[in-house]
Structures are given as C-alpha cells and as structure tokens.
Amino acid sequence: MRNSQPYVDIVIPNYNGVEFLDTCLRSIGRQTYPYFSITVIDNGSIDNSLEFVRKNYPLVHLIVWPQNKGFSPAVNAGISAGSAPLIFLLNNDTELEEDCLEQLVNAAMSQDEYGFFAAKMISYKDRHLLDGAGDGFLRGGVGYRLGTMENDDALYSRPGRVFGACAGAALYRRELFDSVGLFDEDFFAYLEDVDFNLRANSRGKKCYYVPDARVFHIGSATTGSKINSFTVRLSTRNNLNLLIKNYPLSFFFRFAPALLVYQIFWFAFVVKKRQLAAYLTGVGEFFGNLPRMLEKRREVLADATLTNNELAAILVAAERDVVCSIMNRRRAQGKTNRLLSLYTRLFL
C-alpha cells in the first residue's frame, strides 16, 4: 500500500439489479474514504446489469456466473478474489452516506478487539425509519435487525457491541474469515449471516455497531417481496440448518421453550400467508441435507472457544435486545406487549 490507511475490498452481489446499481455505485464513488476497490459478482442476471457496469463503471471488477448460485457463494467469491485487510459487504439496493466507509474504517482502526462492524441501515424510502441498527438473535434460530421500523432516534445513535451484523452492509476484517470461515454456501440465501454471526460469537469474536456509518436500504429488491414461496422455503430450511449445525445438544433442552415458541409462531405465520407448501418443501430440503449439516456440526462445535454457559449468556442477552426492540416498535404503534412481557418474565 502507498499510504498508512488500510485498503478495503467492497463486495456487491447482484442478480437482475440494474435499476439499483447506478445509485449504489455512484454513492460509493462519492465516499470520503478513497482507498478501496469494488467487485460485483453477477449471479446470472438476464437484465443488462453487465452491460451497464462495463459501460458506466469500467474500473469495477466483475465476476460473472451463468446462473444464480445464491448470495453466500457470491460474497464468498468476492471475498476470495481480494486481498485487502478489510472487506465491506454491500447489497446492490443501497445508497451510502458520503462518509459511511470512512466511519466504518475509523471504527476498525480504533476498536482492535472487534472483528466486524455493523452499519446503521435506514429505510431508503422513509428516511426517518430504521432498517437495522446491528443484528440481534432469537434463540429459536433466526436473526433480527435491531430497530427495524423504529424511528432513527437517540436510542440507536450510540455505538457499542451488538450480537452481529447484517451482511447487506457490514465491514469485516479478513482475518475474521480466516478464523471463522466464510458464509455457508449450503444456505444459498437467508440466515447465512446469522449462521456466521453465531459461529463468530462461539469463537469469542465480537461485532461493533457504528451508528455514524449510514446506509439507505431498499430491501427485498431481488426477491420482489419479503414473504413469498422462495423466502419461506429457504427461511424454514436454513433456520433448521442453523440450529442443528450450531447448537450443542444441551441448548435444545436449555432453550426448549424459546425454540417451541418460535416454531409455533413461524408455522402459524406461514399458514396465515398461505405458504404451507413452501414451508413443507423447506422442511423436506432440511432432512435431505441433514447428513451434511451433521458433518459441519462436528467441526463447528469442535472449533468453539467459549463454554456452553458463556455462549448461552450471549444468546440470552441478544434475544433480550430483540424483544426490547420489538416492544419499542409495537409501543410506538399503539399496540400492546402483553405476550412479549409474559415471555420476557418467563424465559428471559
């Protein structure tokens, strides 16, 4: 490097995202932090994404695949293609505040004990609402973006430790991937970053929330909607994958109430949305892939550096943060929190 500042590899997966790429790439070009490269991994787009990037952003490095291999393989390819000490994973349906990258790099340089850094994600269309202020965790086996659909106020303007980061806008030290591994490609998409967050925590790695690093996020741009057969199938499958891959046997007993509550509510939600067929397909795919997950499970549990009690305490605290966030949102919407309050008293 020709300067004392760390270089950053920016990695952007893309699938038929030509309508978002100009906003995203243009905002990167306006960054106050100049030491970066950009890699776009195209997952078999059939719009003119490739032609657009080649014509308008010729310095962007393109990795082109003939078919959609999924989010996890795409970002893994982008990570492996670079060599910079810092890696910024970014969704294509985003726009960065001009000093976003600078704020993240400054945090990485000043917070040596942290391995990855969560940006503040804000609704692209309604910019007083948050899309996520770092990730929490539900012991039922899913993540939750803290502050989602809440006002961007003082509560989420304080930096500090969070359970993990949404891979749609997060900075990672390359050495973290060397230690924890890359994103699980068997997940394809959905919960792959939750799986990574959990593995990182089990190895004693920590995530830092950087509220001054602001990212405006459209959300669900690739799938077209938040709830459809694709998202339900993969979310169901990957939730079960995550649990069997990462949970010590004792957690299935220790967290049994939380596991049962989540599965009941998820099933009821799926039925309400008329996605039962997709749910059952996801369950079937989980059992079909079970031998592979059990093989990974042995490696994941063997590599953990925290005791089960230490990891359990982190997970309980992470779920408490999630429940508080959900209750704040519901309270602001004029809704009651009786069930959540009861759940908190009984299980948290």
- Identify any residues that bridge with 116 across adjacent strands, giving them in sequence order: 172, 207
For residues 175-179, average pLDDT: 97
pLDDT for 3 equals 54
Confidence of residue 312 (pLDDT cuts 50, 70, 90): very high
The greatest distance separating any two alpha carbons of the chain, rounded to the nearest whole angstrom, comes to 58
Query: Where are the CATH 3.90.550.10 domain residues in the chain?
Result: 8-217
The string of pLDDT tens digits covering residues 34-69 is 999 999 999 999 999 999 999 999 999 999 999 999
Averaged pLDDT of the chain: 95
Minimum mean pLDDT range among 85-89, 119-123, 215-219:
215-219
Would the pLDDT of 224 be above 60? Answer: no
Q: Which CATH superfamily is domain 8-217 in?
A: Spore Coat Polysaccharide Biosynthesis Protein SpsA; Chain A (3.90.550.10)
Q: What separation in angstroms does the CA of 221 have from each of 171, 218, 224?
A: 21, 7, 5
Q: How many of the other CB atoms lie within 10 Å of CB of 295?
A: 10
State how far the Cα of 316 lies from the Cα of 320, in Å rounded to an integer: 6
Confidence of residue 226 (pLDDT cuts 50, 70, 90): confident
pLDDT for 1 equals 35
Strand pairing category for 207-217 and 160-162: antiparallel
pLDDT for 174 equals 98
Confidence of residue 223 (pLDDT cuts 50, 70, 90): very low
Q: Tokens representing 253?
A: 């007993």
Confidence of residue 5 (pLDDT cuts 50, 70, 90): confident
For residues 246-252, average pLDDT: 98
For residues 141-157, average pLDDT: 95
State how far the Cα of 185 lies from the Cα of 207, in Å rounded to an integer: 22
Would the pLDDT of 104 be above 50? Answer: yes
pLDDT for 219 equals 79
Q: Scanning the structure block, which residue is given the tokens 């990570």?
A: 79
For residues 85-97, average pLDDT: 97
Radius of gyration of the chain (CA): 20
Q: How many of the other CB atoms lie within 10 Å of CB of 105?
A: 24
For residues 91-115, average pLDDT: 97
Would the pLDDT of 222 be above 70? Answer: no
State how far the Cα of 80 lies from the Cα of 74, in Å rounded to an integer: 10
Confidence of residue 221 (pLDDT cuts 50, 70, 90): very low
Q: Percent of the chain at pLDDT above 90?
A: 95
For residue 151, give the DSSP letter: B
Q: Tokens representing 136?
A: 């929490």
pLDDT for 225 equals 53
Q: Tokens representing 143?
A: 């993540």
For residues 260-287, average pLDDT: 97
pLDDT for 2 equals 41
State how far the Cα of 60 lies from the Cα of 53, in Å rounded to an integer: 7
Q: What's the predicted TM-score (pTM) here?
A: 0.95
